[in-house]
Structure 1
Amino acid sequence: MAEPTRLDPPPAAPSPLDASPRVAVRRVPAPADFAAIVAAGHPVVLKGLFDDWVALAAGRASPGHLTSYLAGLDRGAPVPLMEASARSKGRFAYRADMREFSFTKRRVPLREALARIAALEGREDAPTAAIQMLPLAEAMPDFVAQNPMPLLSADIGPKLWLGGAVRTQTHNDRDHNLACVIAGRRRFLLFPPEQVANLYIGPLGNPPPLSLADPEMPDFERFPRFREAMAAARVAWIEAGDALFLPRYWWHHVTSLGPFNAMVNYWWGGDDEPYHVFLAALLALRDLQPGARAYWRTMFEAHVFGDPETSAGHIPESLRGALGAMRPGERADLRRRLAAAFRS
């Protein structure tokens, strides 16, 4: 596979984020090349991937054309409408106590949501409204038929994000993400997964956990380690017609750069099991005495994250059990044992 080229689209307005390295850009890949991009685990902007979409033509024409197109596909299912007050200036983040988010969520008919977004478009000192995570296969099945995604399996359904100048605070997903902009322009500021300790992530109990540090107005006195995160950041400006492949676990701060924006995204490949094991590790390991913590750290490094041949190659394969390549029955038996242990 050829190395991706790098393009440098100018930002919509001068920003301190201009200095961040740009995400690699390439033309639409063949399916085998896209599989290699996914396996490589680095963000890539893809151009020309969905040039034939009806929705893209409508979005490029005008906000009114796109909203009329979507309204014509409506099957009557309510849609999720998020709204943040004017004082938030479009920032979807935590409230001061971190117990709730800075926006409300309600379900309304699609036409009502589109009318609300249109009524607020371009108004100063107005709330910011957006439809987010609308499953299009359920709400508008004809959209899926008219706007196919050639790189992904048909069982991976698209979701719609449409609204005003939203700024979504830094978060991540346990899925791969292919984000396709059909109207407006968005900026993605991306942080590698290993920057988690420098992002000052909020409580896990209120998902998705968000970074408390705002990269558009960073407070390095309050969040000094955030300088390291910013030094590792990459930026992508995504125009209508562009797609961004975002590997799982990458942290991203998303800014809609105009008064009307629309995007369709696809999530796939996620697995909740590692997250549940992470929570179990917090429960079982974090409060141990230093000696015990050190022991279990070395056990994880050797047997979970290390080379299995180095750590267990001296054991006959038939006797390795959980240290070897487990068969489905062995995995199921181990799950039952773990479930019983956590019930006690």
Structure 2
Amino acid sequence: MLPTARLPPARPIREIAGLDPRELGPGILESNEPLVLRGLVAAWPMVAAARDSAGAADAYLRRFYRDATVTAMHGTPEIGGRFFYNDDLSGFNFALARLRLDQVLDELARHRDNAQAPAIYVGSTTIDTALPGFRSENDVDLAGRDALASIWIGNRTRIAAHFDLPDNLACIAAGRRRFTLFPPQQLENLYVGPLDFTPAGQAISLVDFLAPDLVRFPRFAQAMEQALSADLEPGDALFIPSMWWHHVQALDSFNVLVNYWWRRSPAYMDTPLNALMHALMTVRDLPPAQRGAWQELFRHYVFEADESTSAHIPEGARHILGPLDADAVRGIRAQLLKRMNR
């Protein structure tokens, strides 16, 4: 068995420097590979405050606080900052609480110099709700993309490898973060946990990246052969394409990340995760021959569909096999709901 010490090191993520955050083009925002964008948001006032000190960064954030309530994750020092399941995966090793944002900032400040601090983390929180006005001084032009801008605040924490459906531009506003990324094809080598019972909404790898158990998870060594990694400083950004797995480690006692999520598909399209859940319910446990037949249907109509798929049907009679728009999808959704509520 391959010992942990001999795991292949992750390769560096490709870097680009000198970009103007007001002029990001499709070569960046539609990339199918991760990109480190060094210094992209170095001119943000938030970044300047963070480079001064954690206290200055804290004070800068509080300028925009307007009695906002957030969901905070809290773990004991024993979890080492790793928000995860409990031992038998029946629950989690942290607690959730609804708190005022200033209370979270107060707690982070109290533990800033504590080497055995509890793990404190505010996950994806809409900036315009929690910190109105922040984006007027700290923002990125995404060329008209309908992006959700969120903020993430915490101390030394570790977020297990997971994927997100939208494309993601992650901007480091305070503290340092280490990202380890894997292409979507590494799914089976990452030993992913339950799909419908997760710490924060997304299925996660069960591998502890700081102490991988290669007896229990031997194929993780193969995943590491395809891993990419980067350490980011305040002012840096990372573009993470849709569906890429990413493990995130915050390295300092006060960390702030601002990210932008957007999809390359129309807003009326459902998340493919709904299709996956429905397929698990309806297809996975069929007899092998039937499952193979459905695999062929999915290949033909979904995964390898092209102009020839419905070319033999008159254009006006193709219905769901023709181009879809918001009205067509609304009709399909109504049919599905009717069938599922029978």
TM-score in terms of structure 1 length:
0.88
4+ residue stretches of structure 1 with deviation over 4 A?
Answer: 15-18, 29-33, 152-155
- Could you tell me which residue of structure 2 aligns to residue 60 of structure 1? 51
Which is further off, 306-315 or 79-88? 306-315
- Return the structure number with greater helix share: 1
Is the alpha carbon distance of 1:331 and 1:140 closer, same or farther for their aligned partners in structure 2, counting shifts above 3 Å?
closer
Q: SS in structure 2 opposite 1:337?
A: helix
- Could you tell me which residue of structure 2 aligns to residue 308 of structure 1? 306
Is the alpha carbon distance of 1:338 and 1:58 closer, same or farther for their aligned partners in structure 2, counting shifts above 3 Å?
same
User: Which among 212, 217, 222 is matched to residue 211 of structure 2?
Assistant: 217
User: Which among 272, 275, 282 is matched to residue 274 of structure 1?
Assistant: 272
User: Which among 318, 329, 332 is matched to residue 331 of structure 1?
Assistant: 329
Contact 2:21/2:140 (CA < 8 Å) preserved in 1?
A: no
Contact 1:60/1:182 (CA < 8 Å) preserved in 2?
A: no
Q: Deviations over 1:140-198 (max 9, x none)?
A: 11111111212254863432222211111111112211111112211100011121122
Task: Tell me the number of residue pairs that the alignment of Structure 1 and Structure 2 aligns.
Answer: 330
Letter in 2 for 1:286: R
Which is further off, 208-217 or 285-294? 208-217
Contact 1:17/1:216 (CA < 8 Å) preserved in 2?
A: no
Letter in 2 for 1:296: W
Contact 2:15/2:38 (CA < 8 Å) preserved in 1?
A: yes
- Could you tell me which residue of structure 2 aligns to residue 21 of structure 1? 11
User: Which among 174, 177, 180 is matched to residue 189 of structure 1?
Assistant: 180
Question: In 1, Cα distance between the equivalents of 2:121 and 2:258?
Answer: 13
Is the alpha carbon distance of 1:32 and 1:251 closer, same or farther for their aligned partners in structure 2, counting shifts above 3 Å?
same
Letter in 2 for 1:59: A
Is the alpha carbon distance of 1:208 and 1:112 closer, same or farther for their aligned partners in structure 2, counting shifts above 3 Å?
same
Q: SS in structure 1 opposite 2:173?
A: strand
Q: SS in structure 1 opposite 2:12?
A: coil
Gap runs ≥5 in structure 1: 1-14
Q: Tell me, yes or no, if structure 1 residue 227 matches structure 2 residue 200.
A: no
Which is further off, 46-55 or 309-318? 309-318
Is the alpha carbon distance of 1:251 and 1:335 closer, same or farther for their aligned partners in structure 2, counting shifts above 3 Å?
same
Question: In 1, Cα distance between the equivalents of 2:325 and 2:252?
Answer: 52
Question: In 1, Cα distance between the equivalents of 2:87 and 2:326?
Answer: 47
Q: Deviations over 1:239-281 (max 9, x none)?
A: 1110011112111111112222221111222864311111111
Which is further off, 137-146 or 266-275? 266-275
Question: In 2, Cα distance between the equivalents of 1:162 and 1:16?
Answer: 34
- Could you tell me which residue of structure 2 aligns to residue 263 of structure 1? 257
- Could you tell me which residue of structure 2 aligns to residue 89 of structure 1? 80
Deviation of the 1:300 alpha carbon? 0.8
Which is further off, 219-228 or 330-339? 330-339
- Could you tell me which residue of structure 2 aligns to residue 199 of structure 1? 190
Question: In 2, Cα distance between the equivalents of 1:126 and 1:99?
Answer: 25
1:141-180 to structure 2, matched below 5 A, reads: 141-151=132-142, 153=144, 156-180=147-171
Letter in 1 for 2:338: A
Report % sequence identity.
37
Is the alpha carbon distance of 1:272 and 1:328 closer, same or farther for their aligned partners in structure 2, counting shifts above 3 Å?
closer
Gap runs ≥5 in structure 2: none
Deviation of the 1:124 alpha carbon? 2.6
Letter in 2 for 1:245: F
Deviation of the 1:204 alpha carbon? 1.6
* Aligned residues: CA RMSD: 2.3
Contact 1:17/1:235 (CA < 8 Å) preserved in 2?
A: no
Is the alpha carbon distance of 1:216 and 1:203 closer, same or farther for their aligned partners in structure 2, counting shifts above 3 Å?
same
Question: In 2, Cα distance between the equivalents of 1:33 and 1:75?
Answer: 31
Question: In 1, Cα distance between the equivalents of 2:334 and 2:270?
Answer: 17
Contact 1:183/1:260 (CA < 8 Å) preserved in 2?
A: yes
Deviation of the 1:327 alpha carbon? 5.1
Contact 2:9/2:224 (CA < 8 Å) preserved in 1?
A: no
Which is further off, 211-220 or 16-25? 16-25
- Could you tell me which residue of structure 2 aligns to residue 107 of structure 1? 98
- Could you tell me which residue of structure 2 aligns to residue 134 of structure 1? 125
Deviation of the 1:93 alpha carbon? 1.4
Question: In 2, Cα distance between the equivalents of 1:324 and 1:154?
Answer: 26
Q: SS in structure 2 opposite 1:332?
A: helix
Greater RCO between the two (CA within 8 Å, min separation 6)?
2
